Structure 1
Amino acid sequence: MKASLESTFDYLSQLKDNNNREWFLTNKSVFEKEQKKIKLFFGEIKNQLDQIDAIEKMQVFRIYRDVRFSKDKTPYKNHFSAGFVRQKPHLRGGYYLHIEDTNTFVGGGFWEPNKEDLLRIRKELSIDASELREIIGQSSFKNYFDELKGEELKTAPRDFDKSHPDIDLIRKKQYIVTRQFTNEEVLSPNFNKEIIASFSAMRPFFNYMSDVLSTDLNGVSIY
Structure 2
Amino acid sequence: MSGGIPLDALDFFEELAAENTRTWWQANRARWEESVREPMEWLVEALAHEFGEAHLYRPQRDVRFAKDKSPYKDHQGALAATVPGVGFYVQVSADGLMTGGGFYPTGPDQTPRYRAAVDAPASGTALQQVVDRLVADGFELGGETVATRPRGVAADHPRLELMRHKHLVASRRHGAPAWLDTPEAVEQVRADWRAVRPLVDWLTEHVGATQVPRRR
Of 43, 53, 57, which aligns to 1:45?
43
Q: Please give the residue correspondences for 1:39-188 in structure 2 after superposition, counting only pairs within 5 Å.
A: 39-53=37-51, 55=52, 57-86=53-82, 88=83, 93-112=86-105, 114-128=107-121, 129-138=124-133, 142-146=136-140, 148-185=141-178, 186-188=180-182
**Cα gap change, 1:202/1:3 in structure 2, threshold over 3 Å: closer, same or farther?**
closer
The residue type paired with residue 205 of structure 1 is: L
The residue type paired with residue 98 of structure 2 is: F
Per-residue CA deviations over 1:25-66 (Å, capped at 9, x if unaligned) read 3x1xx422432453332333333322323x2x4322222222
Partner of 2:196: 202
SS in 1 for 2:62: coil
Larger Rg: 1
SS in 2 for 1:122: helix
Per-residue CA deviations over 1:164-203 (Å, capped at 9, x if unaligned) read 2212111210111111112234235522211111111111
- Please say if residues 11 and 31 of structure 1, whose CA atoms lie closer than 8 Å, have aligned partners that are also in contact: no
SS in 2 for 1:84: strand
Deviation at 1:21, TM superposition (A): 2.6
- Please say if residues 81 and 97 of structure 1, whose CA atoms lie closer than 8 Å, have aligned partners that are also in contact: yes
Structure 2 CA distance for aligned equivalents of residues 100 and 51 of structure 1: 25
Provide TM-score, normalisation by structure 1: 0.78
Q: Determine what percentage of the aligned residue pairs are the same residue.
A: 24
Per-residue CA deviations over 1:94-143 (Å, capped at 9, x if unaligned) read 222211122431232112253322222212222212211111222x6632
Provide TM-score, normalisation by structure 2: 0.80
**RMSD between aligned alpha carbons?**
2.6
**Cα gap change, 1:7/1:127 in structure 2, threshold over 3 Å: closer, same or farther?**
closer
Aligned length: 204
Deviation at 1:3, TM superposition (A): 8.2
The answer for unaligned runs of 5 or more in structure 2 is 209-216
Q: Please give the residue correspondences for 1:16-27 in structure 2 after superposition, counting only pairs within 5 Å.
A: 16-25=17-26, 27=27
Deviates more, 1:113-122 or 1:94-103: 113-122
Structure 1 CA distance for aligned equivalents of residues 194 and 4 of structure 2: 26
The residue type paired with residue 130 of structure 2 is: I
Q: Please give the residue correspondences for 1:26-37 in structure 2 after superposition, counting only pairs within 5 Å.
A: 27=27, 30-37=28-35
For CA contacts below 8 A with separation 6 or more, give which structure has more relative contact order: 2
**Cα gap change, 1:133/1:15 in structure 2, threshold over 3 Å: closer, same or farther?**
same
